[in-house]
Structure formats: structure tokens, C-alpha cells
Amino acid sequence: MVEDVVRTLGFLCLGSRLRRIGERLQADTQQVIDEAGLGIQAGQYPFLAAIDRAGPLTIGELAQAVGITQPGATRTIGQLLELGFVDMQPAPDDQRRRLVSLSDKGRELVDHSKATIWPRVAAAVADLCGDLDGPILEQLAAIEDGLAALPLLRRSTVTGPHALSAAQ
Amino acid sequence: MVEDVVRTLGFLCLGSRLRRIGERLQADTQQVIDEAGLGIQAGQYPFLAAIDRAGPLTIGELAQAVGITQPGATRTIGQLLELGFVDMQPAPDDQRRRLVSLSDKGRELVDHSKATIWPRVAAAVADLCGDLDGPILEQLAAIEDGLAALPLLRRSTVTGPHALSAAQ
DNA sequence: GCTAGATATATAACATGTTATATAACGTTC
DNA sequence: GAACGTTATATAACATGTTATATATCTAGC
């Protein structure tokens, strides 16, 4: 059996580890969605949820709401357009901006998801996290806030001389 | 200010959220590595660490050690070969398998990193996680083990009839 | 000994994040 | 009013994960 070094190395590999767990959770969530035959990607749901909650949003606002860069949001909204779940029109007061809203089909999908899949996924993940020794969601919020407040580069608690000179 | 729906939706978007935090942590780690001028990607370090700890490993073993699929490991090892940090030769007893080992240059990088960058990154991340209300590393281990033991699809604590029929 | 199934890796194609850059539109200043 | 800086989005290119498939090698069974 091969040692899981990402797990073993703990804080050193926390970034890789969080991504890994995130991908597995997204893959598992995708299975639940596929079983329901909804024809949507797990990563697309947060966009629909954002519009559902806030009404029509611009590409930039959607990028912020979901926490990715603007080109990433542009691509995913393009996919949702092709799938017919959203509509897009230029903002009346500023033609640079485009407003993305739910189409009838998207509205239907969101209403259905809120009634069925979303509670199912949320409950399954809550079950997975049920025995954890701490409030994982708050802890993740603290990590995100902590990174925003003070990036790693500015955190250094290593005592002694810093070997910042370049290797070889 | 736009609402962060991934944060707001909690367990429903945990997968996206973990990926997001993981990417940010990797990006921050990359900044620390770049400042040290080491010419390596944060995602490549676990491969070197695995070989450092266990000696020469096959592609398949490296994929397992780092927790990604075999084609992903093949690609990253290819990059480390080009950078000159690893060597590769066919296993003497089975020509299907290739054994990846640290080159002299790779050995030098790992020894240097263990003395400088790795403690620095680990300390910075430990600092970031210092005020958390629970042992995050153990919690992540519990999540990974929980997912492996029982995928989301088989977790369902929602009471009442399951709306598994396909939407529209 | 030969064949078929299994195993290990490489490659292709795809998905989804990123950074860099181009283009269009807006607003402020002169 | 024109020009320049800023803002918003689209597109290109890249990075890195995935699944699917191809190729090479090994082993067990007949």
C-alpha cells in the first residue's frame, strides 16, 4: 500500500488536499444530479442559485458570487445559455454590462432542484460531515477570511534566519 | 457587494468551496515558492516528497500517493523529467512499469526545500489555521474516509418520498 | 507453447480553473 | 467635443484535473 503523502504532509499540502477533496465531492454530487437526470453540471448550480437569490446579475457579479475569475464565469454562463437555462441581455444603462437572468426553463429547474436535489445533496453532505470534531463550514470561512486578510507570503512564524536566496 | 453564494449555501456547495479554497492556497503557496526562485510548481512538490520518502516509485504508485488519476501523474512526471528533477527507468522485472527516482538535481532541491521552503509554507498554513475551532487536518481525513466508505449517492437522510423521476 | 484477460503506461480529448490580451463602452478631464 | 484612463466582457492560451482509448507487457489457463 502506497503512503498518501498529501495526507501525511498535513499543512504543507493543504491546498492540494482541499482541491482533491473538493473534486471528489463535486464528482459525488454530480452522480446524484445525473441519477436525477437533470442534465446539468454540479459546477453550474451556484450560478443558477446566485441568480435565483439576487435576480439578474452581470458576468462580473456572477464571478464574484461564485468566487472564480471573470473568464471562467463567461464560459459557464455561455454553457447555461446553450442549455437554455438562462437569458442574457445588455444592461439598459451600460452596454458593456450584460444581465443574466433565469429563463422559464431555468426557473423550472431551480424550483424543482430546490424541492428535490438540493435538499438531498445538502443532507448527504451534512451526514458526511456529521461526526466531525468541529464546525467545518465556519472553519472554512475563517480560512478564506484569513487568507484574504493576510496572504501566506506575509505569514511567517519560522524563527531563525530566512533562507530566501535562490536555490542553485 | 455581491453575496458569496458558495459560502451562503454551505453543505450544498461544499465541493466547489473546497476546490476554491484549495486553488487559492495553492496559488499562495506558489507565491512563496516563486519568491524563493525554485522554478517548481506547488502541485509538483508532493511527487518529489513521495519519492523522497519511499524511494523509487512507479507511475501508478505516484498517482496513488498524490491522490490523482494515472494520466495526471504521467503528465506531471513528464514535466519533472524535463526539468531534470527526476530520472526514470523501466523496472528490471516488469517492462510495463517505470520507476521514477530523484535525480541529483532533484535530491538537491528536496534537501534544500526541506530545510527552507517546506517549513516556511507549513508554518504559514499552520498559522492561518491556528485559530480554527477544531483540528482541520483530522476533519479532512474524516471526510475523505467517509466519502471512501459511503459515497454521497448512497447517503440519504431526507425523509419523505424521493423525487427521483427526471425533471421535465 | 499459445491465447486471452489483466495490468501499466501513454496519448487523445474534454472540463474547468487561471492569466494575458483584445475589444467595446463609459466617464472624467482638459 | 476629444482624448485618455477605467471598466466590462470575450477570446486565446495555458495548467491540471478527468475519462476514454491505444499500446505494450505479463501471467494464467488450456
What is the three-state SS of chain B? CCCCHHHHCHHHHHHHHHHHHHHHHHHHHHHHHHHCCCCCCHHHHHHHHHHHHHCCEEHHHHHHHHCCCHHHHHHHHHHHHHHCCEEEEEECCEEEEEEEEECHHHHHHHHHHHHCHHHHHHHHHHHHCCCCCCCHHHHHHHHHHHHHHCCHHHCCCCCCCCCCCCCC
Across B110-133, average pLDDT: 94
A110 and A53 assigned to the same domain: yes
Q: Which candidate in A121, A138, A154, A156 is best for mutational testing of the B interface (most B CBs within 10 A)?
A: A121
User: Could you read off the pLDDT of A130-163 as tens digits, one per residue?
Assistant: 989 999 999 999 999 999 999 998 887 655 444 3
Q: Do B157 and A124 touch (CB under 8 A)?
A: yes
Task: Examine residue B162 and state whether it is found in any structural domain, yes or no.
Answer: no
A90 and A105 assigned to the same domain: yes
Residue A1, pLDDT above cutoff 80: no
A1 and A48 assigned to the same domain: no
CA distance B3 to chain A (A): 6
A100: nearest Cα among A113, A112, A110, A85: A85
- pLDDT of res. A158: 57
B108 dihedral zone (left: phi>0; alpha: psi -120 to 50; beta): alpha
Burial class (CB in 10 A: 0-12, 13-18, 19+), B69: exposed
Task: Examine residue A51 and state whether it is found in any structural domain, yes or no.
Answer: yes
Task: Examine residue A78 and state whether it is found in any structural domain, yes or no.
Answer: yes
Look at the block and give the residue holding cell 482541491.
Answer: A19
Is the CB of residue A15 less than 8 Å away from at least one CB of chain B?
yes
- pLDDT of res. B158: 57
C-alpha A102/C-alpha A87 separation (Å) is: 6
Quote the number of domains for chain B.
1
Please list every residue in chain A whose beta carbon sits closer than 8 Å to the beta carbon of residue B54: 2-3
A98 and A114 assigned to the same domain: yes
**CATH code of the domain covering residue B31:** 1.10.10.10
Looking at chain B from residue 39 to 98, which residues have their Cβ under 8 Å from any Cβ of chain A?
42-43, 45-46, 49-50, 53-54, 57, 61, 64-68
Q: How confident is the model at residue B165 (pLDDT cuts 50, 70, 90)?
A: very low
Q: How confident is the model at residue B167 (pLDDT cuts 50, 70, 90)?
A: very low
- pLDDT of res. A108: 96
Q: B89: which strand partners?
A: B99
A117 and A100 assigned to the same domain: yes
A31 and A45 assigned to the same domain: no
Burial class (CB in 10 A: 0-12, 13-18, 19+), A134: middle
A29 and A57 assigned to the same domain: no
Q: What is the ipTM of this complex?
A: 0.90
Q: Is the pLDDT higher at B131 or at B74? A: B74
Task: Examine residue B156 and state whether it is found in any structural domain, yes or no.
Answer: no
Look at the block and give the residue holding cell 519560522.
Answer: A158
User: Could you read off the pLDDT of A70-124 as tens digits, one per residue?
Assistant: 999 999 999 999 999 999 999 998 999 999 999 999 999 999 999 999 999 999 9
CA distance B118 to chain A (A): 7
- pLDDT of res. A37: 87
- pLDDT of res. A156: 72
Across B84-95, average pLDDT: 93
User: Could you read off the pLDDT of B4-44 as tens digits, one per residue?
Assistant: 999 999 999 999 999 999 999 999 999 999 999 888 999 99
User: Could you read off the pLDDT of B98-111 as tens digits, one per residue?
Assistant: 999 999 999 999 99
A60 and A81 assigned to the same domain: yes
The Cα diameter of chain A in Å comes to: 62
- pLDDT of res. A38: 87
Enclosing domain of residue B68: 5-128
A81 and A53 assigned to the same domain: yes
Task: Examine residue A85 and state whether it is found in any structural domain, yes or no.
Answer: yes
A127: nearest Cα among B141, B140, B151, B18: B151
In this structure, which amino acid lies at residue B114?
K
A116 and A44 assigned to the same domain: yes
Sheet holding B86-91, edge to edge: B57-58, B94-102, B86-91
Indicate if CB(B30) is under 7 A from strand D: no
Task: Examine residue B83 and state whether it is found in any structural domain, yes or no.
Answer: yes
Question: Angle at the Cα of A113 (from A105 to A137), degrees rounded to 5?
Answer: 135
Task: Examine residue A138 and state whether it is found in any structural domain, yes or no.
Answer: no
Residues 6+ positions from B44 with CB-CB distance below 8 Å? B76, B79, B80, B85
Task: Examine residue B141 and state whether it is found in any structural domain, yes or no.
Answer: no
Cell numbers describing residue B161? 418520498
